[in-house]
Amino acid sequence: MKLRCVCDQDYAYCHTKAGQRFQCSWCKQWLVMPEFQSLSPEDQAFYRNELQKQQGKAQRAAEKAKRKEEAAATKEWTKQQRALELRAQEGERAAALQRQQERQQQPTPPQPTDQSSLVNCPKCGCAQISANKKGMDAGGACCGALLLGPLGILCGLQGANKVIVTCLKCGHQWTRG
Sheet containing 129-133, strands listed edge to edge, beginning at the edge strand earlier in sequence: 129-133, 163-167, 173-175
The H or E element that residue 47 is part of is helix 41-105
> Is 18 contained in some domain?
yes
Q: Is residue 130 domain-shared with residue 168, that is, in the same domain?
A: yes
Contact 5, 11 (CB under 8 A): yes
Q: Is residue 48 domain-shared with residue 15, that is, in the same domain?
A: no
Q: What is the pLDDT of residue 15?
A: 55
Identify any residues that bridge with 2 across adjacent strands, giving them in sequence order: 12
> Is 30 contained in some domain?
yes
> Is 114 contained in some domain?
no
Count structural domains, the chain: 3
Q: Is residue 140 domain-shared with residue 156, that is, in the same domain?
A: yes
Q: Is residue 29 domain-shared with residue 49, that is, in the same domain?
A: no
Q: What is the pLDDT of residue 16?
A: 59
Q: Is residue 99 domain-shared with residue 51, that is, in the same domain?
A: yes
Q: What is the pLDDT of residue 163?
A: 82
Q: Within the chain, which residues score under 50 in pLDDT?
A: 115
> Is 75 contained in some domain?
yes
Q: Is residue 33 domain-shared with residue 47, that is, in the same domain?
A: no
> Is 141 contained in some domain?
yes
Q: Which domain holds residue 33?
A: 7-39
d(CA 14, CA 22): 12
pTM assigned to the model: 0.29
Q: Is 154 exposed, middle or buried (0-12, 13-18, 19+ CB in 10 A)?
A: middle
Other Cβ atoms within 10 Å of 120 Cβ, number: 14
> Is 169 contained in some domain?
yes
Q: What is the pLDDT of residue 45?
A: 76
Q: Is residue 22 domain-shared with residue 50, that is, in the same domain?
A: no
DSSP conformation letters of 90-154: HHHHHHHHHHHHHHHHSPPPPPP-SGGG----TTT--S-EEEEE----HHHHHHHHHHHGGGGGG
3-state DSSP call for residue 9?
coil
Q: What is the pLDDT of residue 65?
A: 92
> Is 109 contained in some domain?
no
pLDDT in tens, 80-110: 999 999 999 888 998 888 888 888 887 766 6
d(CA 112, CA 74): 63
Q: Is residue 99 domain-shared with residue 69, that is, in the same domain?
A: yes
